[in-house]
Amino acid sequence: MPVELHLATDPGGRPTRAENPLYDPAEGLQRPTRPGPVPEPEVFCGWVGETVRALDPTTEADPVGVLVNLLSAGGAVIGPGPFLWIGNDRHPALIWALTVGATAAGRKGAASNTVRRLLKAAVPDFLASNTPSGLSSGEGLIEQVKDGAPDSEKSTGVTDKRLWVVESEYGITMARARREGSSLGGVLRQAWNGEDLGVMNREALHATAPHIALIGHISPRELRAKMQDSELAGGTYNRFLPLFVHRNLLLPDATGAPEDLVNNLATVWRTVLEDARHVGEVQLTTDAAELWRSEVYPALSGGEDDDGPLAEFTARAAPYAKRTAMVYALLDHKQQIGIEHLQAAWALIRYARLSAAHILGPAASSTGDPDLDKLAAAVKNAGPGGFTQSEVQVMFKRRNAAWRSDLTARLCHLPGYVAAPVQGSGRPQTIYLYAPGDGPERSESP
């Protein structure tokens, strides 16, 4: 039987900001201190979220690492059938991510291997034939999904163009893409778009309608060392969601998930994936479309003055949110993007921005969200006296209370920012402080 997931909701049906049990200490579970940002509970939405919660006690992998591997692998297995229109661009169900964590403590491989085990039980043929690794060149990638030459009986093409590529040493891939004359970067950009693949120097080598999802593992230090502004401007890396991952449990005697749990999950996954393959165009429900127009798109579109490495890295945040919401919906056995799927995707994009800011460090001049940057700067400049809830209301007086609550909650997920209650002559007042290293490890806005 599927594991039930209970999400508290507000009167509008949206998940509330309850504490996330996947990152809080629980009876019998040892969770080490986390050195970076923490994803919001909303990201663990629907059936994919239920699966992460079910598998969490059995692996030291970061739940958000397992989550993004499930989204990426699930979209790859589903294939090119489902799509959505964003303007005149046709977006497939493809999620690319860089899981960024320390070599010893990131547990990046554990997250991918957890999903591999589930895929082996659910779709063994796909896992055996459609999961290559070792990206060395654009030509090599095209070879995996190439068409047959029409004028040659000896040249057989690939009929199943679905791939889920996991690169455990993505720093090596980055170095290869930078070599003079390398076609890898250009072919990767084509693949993310779902376009036909080809290289100018080999006319006979091409692939029509490929469907390639990609997960890369890399350490923060290696990413900072290898990433240059010219590479960012080329547009390859803003096709990846950068997600900070860290070991979430200490399991000295771990033996993995029980076989019956894996098989029960796999039974549902097999049905979900097969049914999703027959879906065509995916659209938003009426409520989700309204949320997209009124809140998500304005928040993710940024401002005209956004620049710098972080803004470049997250330049595709708006279309990625919609694409990710589609995958959430498909993996939730739905043919439309509901408000919960859009909320989950929005939260995952926010976490990717926080991850990028944490990973890039001083090189990142902003979070990528102008409103969050504005509030963070005001709180930092307020000094030890803090920035009050009333001042937040004045600063963003044209926004409603729910929007301001969401913004302050996200502020408190930034390193060094906390919320604290202050008792005055009347009702208790909330103030926001910037106190790196002095306050509690993490505080949630009321």
Residues 193 and 167 reside in one and the same domain: yes
For 324-371, what is the HEC assignment?
HHHHHHHHCCCCEECHHHHHHHHHHHHHHHHHHHHHHHHHCCCCCCHH
Q: Angle at the Cα of 213 (from 159 to 291), degrees rounded to 5?
A: 120
pLDDT in tens, 328-349: 999 999 999 999 999 999 999 9
How many Å apart are CA 65 and CA 85, to the nearest integer? 28
Pairwise pLDDT comparison (344 vs 446), residue with the higher score: 344
Asked whether residue 415 falls in the same domain as residue 328, the answer is: no
Same domain flag for 264 and 331: yes
Q: Give percent helix, percent strand, percent coil of the chain, each to the nearest 5.
A: 45, 15, 40
Other Cβ atoms closer than 10 A to 178: 15
Q: How far is CA 355 from the centre of its chain?
A: 10
- Give me the percent of the chain exceeding a pLDDT of 70: 81
Cα dihedral value 41, 330, 189, 64, nearest 10:
20
Instruction: Kindly list the distances between the CA atom of residue 60 and the CA atoms of 39, 234, 249, in Å, as whole numbers in the listed order.
Output: 17, 35, 5
Residue 20 belongs to some domain of the structure: no
Residue bearing the bigger pLDDT, 446 or 188: 188
Residue that is last in its domain, among 316, 339, 363: 363
Please report how many Cα atoms fall inside a 13 Å half-sphere around the Cα of residue 240, on the Cβ side.
29
Half-sphere exposure of 436 (CA within 13 A, CB side): 6
- Same domain, residue pair 179 and 259: yes
Q: How far apart are CA 222 and CA 367, in angstroms?
A: 21
**Does residue 232 share a domain with residue 199?**
yes
Residues 389 and 349 in one domain: no
Select the more confidently predicted residue: 232 or 429: 429
Looking at residue 360, its pLDDT comes to 78
Assign residue 306 the CATH number of its domain: 3.40.50.300
pLDDT number for residue 2: 40
Q: Quick one: 406 and 286 in the same domain?
A: no
In a domain, 442, yes or no: no
Residue at 439 is within a domain:
no
Q: What is the pLDDT of residues 362-376, one digit of tens each?
A: 555 455 567 887 898
CB 163 within 8 A of CB 212: yes
Tokens of 113: 């291997």
Q: Do 291 and 384 reside in the same domain of the chain?
A: no
Domain of residue 376, CATH code: 1.10.10
The answer to whether position 9 is within a domain reads no
pLDDT per position as a tens digit, 147-176:
876 555 555 788 999 999 999 888 888 777
Least Cα distance to 312 among 227, 428, 246 occurs for: 227
Is pLDDT above 60 for 1?
A: no
Same domain flag for 354 and 417 = no
Residue 14 — pLDDT band, cuts 50, 70, 90? Answer: very low
The reply to whether 347 and 383 lie within a common domain is no
Q: Is the dihedral of CA 124, 128, 129, 134 positive or negative?
A: positive
Cα Rg, the chain, nearest whole Å: 22
405 within a domain of the structure (yes/no): yes
Same domain membership, residue 241 and residue 175:
yes
Instruction: Return the minimum-mean-pLDDT range out of 30-34, 227-231, 304-308, 379-383.
Output: 304-308
Beta pairing partners, 162: 211
pLDDT of residue 7: 39
Question: What local confidence, expressed as pLDDT, does residue 301 receive?
Answer: 80
Q: For 56-206, where are the alpha helices, taking DSSP H only?
A: 63-78, 108-122, 124-129, 138-144, 170-178, 184-193
- Asked whether the beta carbons of 53 and 5 are under 8 A apart, the reply is yes
Instruction: Kindly report, residue by residue over 104-135, the tens digit of the pLDDT.
Output: 888 999 999 999 999 999 999 999 999 998 88
Last residue of a domain, one of 345, 363, 381: 363
How many domains does one find in the chain? 2
Containing 85, the helix (H) or strand (E) segment is strand 83-86
Which of the two residues, 310 and 322, has the higher pLDDT score?
Answer: 322
Based on the domain organization, do 263 and 395 belong to the same domain? no
Under 8 Å between Cβ of 37 and 367? no
Structural tokens at position 133? 């690794």
Distance, CA of 344 to CA of 321 (rounded, Å)? 9
- Residue 425: inside a domain, yes or no? yes
Using the predicted structure, report yes or no on whether residue 213 has a pLDDT greater than 70.
yes
- In contact, 131 and 117? CB cutoff 8 Å: no
Listing DSSP states for 226-267 in one string gives H--HHHHHTTSGGGSEEEE-------TT---S-HHHHHHHHH
Cα(100)–Cα(243) distance, integer angstroms: 6
In a domain? residue 36:
no
The segment with the largest mean pLDDT, out of 185-194, 218-227, 364-373, is 185-194
pLDDT at res. 294:
94
Enter the pTM of the model.
0.77
Per DSSP, the three-state class of 414 is coil
Which DSSP letter does residue 388 get? Answer: E
Within a domain: 29: no
Residue 152 is part of which domain span?
Answer: 41-363
Please check the confidence at residue 203 and state whether its pLDDT lies above 70.
no
